[in-house]
Amino acid sequence: MTYDAIVIGAGHNGLAAAIELQKRGWSVAVVEAKSEAGGAVKTREVTLPGFRHDLAAMNLSMFAGSAFFAANKDALTAQGLGLVPAADCFASVFRDGTFLGVSTDLEKTAGRIAALSEKDAAAWRQMLAEFGSDAPHIFGLLGAPMPSWRSAKVAWKAWREKGTGWLYDIARLLLASPRDFLDSRFEHPKVKAMMAAWGLHLDFAPDVAGGALFPYLESMANQAFGMVIGKGGADTIIKAMTGLFASKGGTLLLDAPVEAITLSGDKASGVRLADGRVLEARRAVISNVHPKLVFGKLLPKDAGRAAYERKIEAFRAGPGTMMIHLALDGLPDWRAGAALKSFAYVHVAPDFEMMSRVYAQAMDGLLPSEPALVVGQPTALDSSRAPDGKHVLWVQVRVLPAQIRGDAGGEIAATDWDGAKEAYADRVLALLETYAPGLRAKILGRSVFSPLDLERENPNLIGGDNLSGSHHLDQNFLFRPVAGYSRYATPVKSLYCCGAATWPGAGTGAGSGFMLADMLGK
């Protein structure tokens, strides 16, 4: 079979690219190695029947705010897409049994902060007011190919409206560490810790340069717009996207691993599947697969692109991640108060010292003695994910080593993830128990995905890195994944890469797939 484009990998970026090219009249086939589409956005019953767990991604706020969703909202909704908003977005719990959280009601948030510091409450309001005028320019930059005339126009418009001083301030924000940025704006350690916890969603400990942007954007965007999750599961976006793709005549092949990208001279001409089938591409082969896998497994080595291949091989993974999925008899009884039961996310990362320590231990190959946790409570918002009166808990453990050199806690002897994962999950639940007494007695079933398990589930998550590559400054913006190739092209003609390893990086915003299709379709 011959198509205008073949997309390798049915994650949300690959599907976004396929749908956008369809709209421009291209014939498109998407080939997926697994038996279901979705990549890192999947929902499955992994504990007990009737309990639906988001295997990796849970927060769909980036998708809801994306250019792709704006362009396809009605069509996706017609395919059954459902989003559930959270009025109480995220919170952090602290060692003294208190919490601080962000709700869409500004007075609630500001009131909680004012109880700690009136000065910080005023600073929060001021930051939100600035965000209202800054956000269009910042999101415009994040939503533009890097580099491009479009990104230059965003910067030009910002300069015209805001002046040179504002551009300097944004440059400082992009380069700052979380600690430096937050110390310059707030005084209370709990306010700063609450915001800095977002840095660990990527790979930014408090003192890592370039880490200020994500805590700033997540904190302000949640205050301004709220958080959303998927009705029935995060896979609602995948079901809607595959439904829309099929309704427009697209071809989706599941259980169809690609053995090789075929070449015609120096041009990508299609793919050969593991079962021997060959699909031809007239115009483009788009890989929503980690570039390390593309140039390490799907293409032969080539002396003409040796320099590029060396740089791809040196592209660093972010830290590993563990996912613990719990079927519960009831939501956690948080020591900090029953109000926490309504929050979509609860961060267990109480102070800068702990965040710095867990990061340093993981980077040194050690199982952290006190891991940082992102506790998702999706059934607090969406009861359809569990039987009546029951709940699911989504626990993301950050940050972890891909390869275990030892245990910072001195208790776990295993140095392989298959041998260590259950014992480490026990450590996680013991930590949670200190913040939510009685949690373990509520557990009806549990399923643990170690960093190795996550890579087995999705080979793009190398070493359990759910970021598909570190977002440190030398691997972001113009340098993602390789300087000179941040606009999705590769040294192979007609072969393009999208996905979290490319600009604008990790998350559910479908940015790389959408922007690539827009560039190809013009």
Mean pLDDT (whole number) for 74-87: 98
Task: Tell me how long the chain is.
Answer: 522
User: pLDDT above 90 covers what percent of the chain?
Assistant: 99
Mean pLDDT (whole number) for 509-519: 97
Q: How many CB atoms lie within 10 A of CB 199?
A: 30
- How does the average pLDDT of the chain come out, rounded? 97
Angle, vertex CA 267, rays to CA 266 and CA 268, nearest 5: 130
CA dist 108 and 102 (Å) reads: 8
pLDDT value of residue 156:
94
pLDDT value of residue 373:
98
Nearest CA-CA partner of 64 in 225, 261, 265, 293 = 225
Express each pLDDT in 130-173 by its tens digit.
Answer: 999 999 999 999 999 999 999 999 999 999 999 999 999 999 99
Partners of 252 in the β-ladder? 30
Nearest CA-CA partner of 509 in 41, 147, 5 = 41
Q: Is there a contact between 414 and 404 (Cβ–Cβ < 8 Å)?
A: yes
The ranges assigned to domains in the chain are 2-41+61-83+233-315+469-520, 114-222
CA dist 120 and 462 (Å) reads: 40
Mean pLDDT (whole number) for 75-96: 98
pLDDT value of residue 135:
93
395 pLDDT band, cuts 50/70/90, is very high
**Positive or negative CA dihedral for 454, 221, 499, 359?**
negative
Express each pLDDT in 234-243 by its tens digit.
Answer: 999 999 999 9
CA dist 503 and 314 (Å) reads: 17
Express each pLDDT in 18-59 by its tens digit.
Answer: 999 999 999 999 999 999 999 999 999 999 999 999 999 999
- Kindly tell me if the per-residue pLDDT of 522 is higher than 90: no
Q: State which amino acid sits at residue 460.
A: N
Express each pLDDT in 437-490 by its tens digit.
Answer: 999 999 999 999 999 999 999 999 999 999 999 999 999 999 999 999 999 999
Which option is the CATH number for 2-41+61-83+233-315+469-520: 3.40.50.10860, 3.90.1150.10, 1.20.1250.40, 3.50.50.60? 3.50.50.60
Tokens of 369: 């003695």
DSSP conformation class of 32: -
DSSP conformation class of 103: E
* pTM, two decimal places: 0.97
pLDDT value of residue 105:
98
Task: Please tell me whether residue 414 adopts helix, strand or coil conformation.
Answer: coil
Express each pLDDT in 198-210 by its tens digit.
Answer: 999 999 999 999 9
274 pLDDT band, cuts 50/70/90, is very high
3-state secondary structure string across 154-181: HHHHHHHHHCHHHHHHHHHHHHCCHHHH
Nearest CA-CA partner of 410 in 362, 355, 369, 356 = 369
- Kindly tell me if the per-residue pLDDT of 129 is higher than 90: yes
Q: Is there a contact between 463 and 320 (Cβ–Cβ < 8 Å)?
A: yes
pLDDT value of residue 368:
98
